[in-house]
Amino acid sequence: MLDKLKYFWSKTNRWHRVIALFLLVELKVLPGGQLGFQCNDPALSHPFTGDTISWKWLMGITLFLPLVIMLIVERQCNGSEKNELNKRNALRWYKEYVYGVLINLTVIQTLKLIVGSPRPHFFDTCQPEEAITCVESEYISSYTCTKAYWLSQSDKSFPSGHTSLGLHAAVFIAYYLHRRAIGASGGSESSGRRAVWAAQAVCILSAAWCGISRIRDRRHHWWDVLAGAVIAAPILLYTIKSLCKDFCCSPSSNVEEETKPLESNCQS
């Protein structure tokens, strides 16, 4: 059996492995945990009011905005005669970015499953049977939700996936613009820098607002948001430095002269 597993593992690549782990978590093949609650805990007694930033909007922006920005920037980078090479670079970086996002999602969903932390709107959406008869600050270690829709959602507070993915996309774009966009801005260098700084500020502020909105919406505790940001940091570092090679361009193997401006731009 062990030999078969080793053989199967040798036939897979990094994409197969992270996708397989993600599916195992999403399908709840792996056992999950469940933190209990204190009766009448005010931190878990907030009403559910919805999401300022929906999961669909977050995933759409996280997956497609970096691609659009990189294609636009690389189209202008180092002249139109190098558009094809720059486009290949952008697609290569985007592929590695998506892989980083998949790692982020897998880590977040795995921790949500293992920890099983009640959300701030836990009593409103779960309505556990045990909360009806518990008294004062009695601790309930095991419970059953009575609202079917929230059976698998009320205990997924830690960590914040919105915060982690939002920060992942924002810092990735901001750093990419720092490395690649100034030389492609067209116009004066000072005006190009100001435009890049403005775009970077919008990215970072948007990520910050995403995290703050999760606390304001009572979807997460503050420590869930902090944990989401901390988790994103090393995955981002791995994505940018190891997978995307710090956004250094892949040289053309056909025309030596064509690669020199690109390589100098990567070293800026």
Amino acid 33: pLDDT: 87
Q: How far apart are CA 44 and CA 235, in angstroms?
A: 30
* Cβ-based burial of 234 (10 A; exposed 0-12, middle 13-18, buried ≥19): exposed
Residue 184 in domain: yes
Per the prediction, the chain carries an average pLDDT of 86
> Using 50, 70 and 90 to split pLDDT, how confident is the model at 12?
confident
> Using 50, 70 and 90 to split pLDDT, how confident is the model at 268?
very low
Residue 16 in domain: no
Residue 24 in domain: no
Q: How far is CA 20 from CA 9, 13, 153, in A?
A: 11, 11, 22
**Higher confidence at residue 258 or residue 85?**
85
* Cβ contacts of 21-25, under 8 Å, gap ≥ 24: 21/106, 21/110, 22/102, 22/105, 22/106, 22/109, 25/106, 25/109, 25/110, 25/113
Residues 153-212 pLDDT 10s:
889 999 999 999 999 999 999 999 998 886 554 445 677 788 889 999 999 999 999 999
Residue 215 in domain: yes
* DSSP type of residue 263: H
Residue 84: phi and psi, rounded to 5, are -65, -45
Q: What is the CA radius of gyration of the chain?
A: 23
* Cβ-based burial of 212 (10 A; exposed 0-12, middle 13-18, buried ≥19): middle
Over residues 235-257, the mean pLDDT reads 76
Cβ atoms < 10 Å from Cβ of 153: 16
Residue 18 in domain: no
Residue 7 in domain: no
Q: How far apart are CA 251 and CA 78, in angstroms?
A: 13
Among residues 137, 82, 145, 83, the alpha carbon closest in space to that of 118 is found at: 145
Cβ 122 vs Cβ 224: under 8 Å: no
Domain count, the chain: 1
Can you give the length of the chain in residues?
268
Cα four-point dihedral sign 205, 206, 211, 216: positive
Residue 156 in domain: yes
Amino acid 256: pLDDT: 38
Active site residues: 162, 220
Residues 59-72 pLDDT 10s:
999 999 999 999 98
Residue 4 in domain: no
**Domain interval for residue 109:** 30-266
* Cβ contacts of 199-203, under 8 Å, gap ≥ 24: 199/173, 199/174, 200/173, 200/174, 203/169, 203/170, 203/171, 203/173, 203/174
